[in-house]
Amino acid sequence: MTVASNVKQCLVTITGIESQLSTLALNSLDREAQAVFHEAAMKIETVKKDLQYRVLELERQEPQYKGS
């Protein structure tokens, strides 16, 4: 496992988490729970953006790992 693929895997997991939180926010009946899930999804999105940026950076630095 290279660093790039590890980071990519992590990015995919984060994306999954974000979408699951959004689903929970939509499916929950309790207002408070909805708000908590929604807020968490937004926070996770910022983390996702940072990771996406990092993946691009890694691909630029080490083009041989691109797409893997």
Partner 1 sequence: MNGYIEILLRSVSFILFLFLITKLVGKKQISQLTFFEYVSGITIGSIAGEVVTGLEKNYLQGTLAVLIFGLVTFLSDYFSLKSKKFRDIMEDSGTVIIKDGKLLEENLKKEKYTIDNVLSLLREKNVFKLADVEFAVLEPQGKLSVLLKKENRPLTPKDLQMKMPSEKEPYTIIMDGKILDDALRWSGKSRGWLYTELEKMNATLDNVFLGQVDSYGELTLDLYDDKIQVPQPQQRPLLLASLKKTQADLEIFSLSTECEKTKAMYKKNAEVLQEQIDKLTPYLNG
Residues in contact with partner 1 by the rule CB under 8 A: 3, 6-7, 10, 13-14, 16-17, 20-21, 24, 26-30, 32-33, 36-37, 40, 43-44, 46-47, 50-51, 54, 57
Burial of 54 (0-12, 13-18, 19+ CB in 10 A): middle
14 is written with which tokens?
A: 């984060």
Q: How far is the CB of 63 from partner 1 (least distance, A)?
A: 18
Distance CA 55, CA 10 (A): 10
CB of 22 vs partner 1, minimal distance in Å: 11
